[in-house]
Structure 1
Amino acid sequence: MNQYFTDEKPFLVLPTLGMGCATLGNLYAPISDADAQTTLQAAATGGVSLFDTAPFYGHGLSENRLGAFLNGLSERPMLSTKVGRSLAHGEAPGDTGFVDAGLARPYFDYSAAAVEQQVAESLSRLGVDSVNMLLVHDLGALTHGDDHARQFAIAMEGAFPALAKMKERGVTRAVGLGVNEVAICLEVLEEIDLDIILLAGRYTLLEQAPLDDLLPLCQSRAVQVVVGGPFNSGVLAGNPHYDYGAVPPAVAARVQALTVICERHNVPLPAAALQFPLAHPAVASVIPGARSAAEMTANIDHIAHPIPAALWADMREEGLIRADAPVPD
Structure 2
Amino acid sequence: MRTRRFDRIGNGGLTFTELGLGTAPFGNLYKAITEAEADAVLEAAWTSGVRYIDTAPQYGYGLSETRLNRFLRGVKRDDYVISTKVGRLLKACPPAERSGQGKFFDTPSRREVFDYSYDGVMRSFEASLERLGLDRVDILFAHDLDVFTHGSQAALDERLEAFMRSGYYALLSLRDQGAIRAFGAGVNEWQSCETMARRGDFDLFLLAGRYTLLEQQALDSFLPLCEARGIGIVLGGPYNSGLLATGPRPGAFYNYNPAPAEILDRTGRLQAVCQRHGVRLIEAALRFPLAHPAVVSVIPGGQSAAEVRGNLDILGATIPDALWADLKREGLLAPNAPVPGEARS
Normalising TM by the smaller chain, what interval?
Answer: over 0.9
Helix, strand or coil at the partner of 2:298: strand
Tell me if structure 2 keeps the 8 A contact 1:17–1:48.
yes
Paired position in structure 2 for 1:256: 268
For 1:258 and 1:241, the matched residues in 2 are separated by: 16
Which residue number in structure 2 is paired with residue 109 of structure 1?
A: 115
* Counterpart for residue 155 of structure 1: 163
Q: Distance in 2 between matches of 1:233 and 1:280?
A: 21
- Structure 2 residue identity aligned to 1:24: F
CA positional deviation for 1:30: 1.7
CA distance in 2, matches of 1:212, 1:50: 28
Corresponding pairs, count: 325
What is aligned with 2:4?
A: none
C-alpha distance after superposition, 1:32-87 (max 9, x if no partner): 21111111111100000000010011111111111121122245411000000111
TM-score, normalized by length of structure 2? 0.90
Matches within 5 A, 1:55-66: 55-66=57-68
Q: 1:222 to 1:9 in 2, by over 3 A?
A: farther
Checking the alignment, whether the CA contact within 8 Å between 1:130 and 1:170 is kept in structure 2 is no
Structure 2 residues without counterparts, runs of 5 or longer = 1-6
Q: Which residue of 2 aligns with 1:300?
A: 312
Q: 1:102 to 1:148 in 2, by over 3 A?
A: same
Structure 2 distance, partners of 1:94, 1:44, is: 29
Counterpart in the other structure of 2:172: 164
Q: Write the distance in 1 (CA, Å) between the matches of 2:59 and 2:258.
A: 20
Residue 71 of structure 2 is aligned with which of 65, 69, 72? 69
Task: Please name the residue that 1:22 is paired with.
Answer: 24
User: What amino acid sits opposite 1:99 in the alignment?
Assistant: F
Provide the rounded CA distance (Å) in 2 between the counterparts of 1:229 and 1:189.
21
- Cα distance in 1 between the residues matched to 2:187 and 2:100: 22
The DSSP-based 3-state class of the residue aligned with 2:16 is coil
| Other structure's SS at 1:37 match | helix
Q: Secondary structure at the match of 2:15?
A: coil
Counterpart in the other structure of 2:44: 42
Q: 1:69-218 residue pairs with structure 2 within 5 A?
A: 69-75=71-77, 76-91=79-94, 92-95=98-101, 97-144=103-150, 145=152, 146-218=154-226
Q: 18-27 or 50-59, which moves further after superposition?
A: 18-27
Runs of 4+ more than 3 Å apart? none
* Aligned equivalent of 1:317: 329
In 2, distance between residues paired with 1:13 and 1:66?
A: 20
Please say if residues 15 and 81 of structure 2, whose CA atoms lie closer than 8 Å, have aligned partners that are also in contact: no
Corresponding residue SS for 1:131: coil
Displacement of 1:96 after TM fit? 6.2
1:81-137 superposed Cα distances (whole Å, 9 cap, x missing partner): 000011112342253622222211112110111111111111111110111110001
Match of 1:52 in 2: 54
- Taking the aligned partners of 2:185 and 2:32, their CA distance within structure 1 comes to 27
Query: How far 1:142 moved relative to its partner?
Result: 3.4
How far did residue 10 of structure 1 move? 7.8
* Counterparts in 2 of 1:276 and 1:7: CA distance versus 1, 3 Å: closer
In structure 1, the gaps of 5 or more residues are none
Is 1:219 equivalent to 2:231 in the alignment?
no
SS in 2 for 1:176: strand
Shift of 1:7: 4.1
Equivalent residue of 1:266, what SS?
Answer: coil
* Relative contact order higher in (CA < 8 Å, ≥ 6 apart): 1
In 1, distance between residues paired with 2:336 and 2:100? Answer: 43
- Report the secondary structure of 1:13's partner residue: strand
Q: 1:89 to 1:284 in 2, by over 3 A?
A: same
Q: Is the Cα contact below 8 Å between 2:11 and 2:181 reproduced in 1?
A: no
1:11–1:195 Cα contact (<8 Å) kept? no
Structure 1: distance between partners of 2:234 and 2:276: 29
Q: Contact conserved, 1:93 with 1:106, CA < 8 A, in 2?
A: yes
Contact 1:88 1:104 in 2 (8 A): yes
Indicate conservation of the 8 Å contact 1:79/1:131, yes or no. yes
> How far apart, in 1, do the equivalents of 2:213 and 2:11 lie?
29
CA contact (8 A) 1:20 1:287 kept: yes
Match of 2:3 in 1: none
8 Å CA contact 1:67–1:127 kept in 2: the answer is yes
195-204 or 237-246: which moved more? 237-246
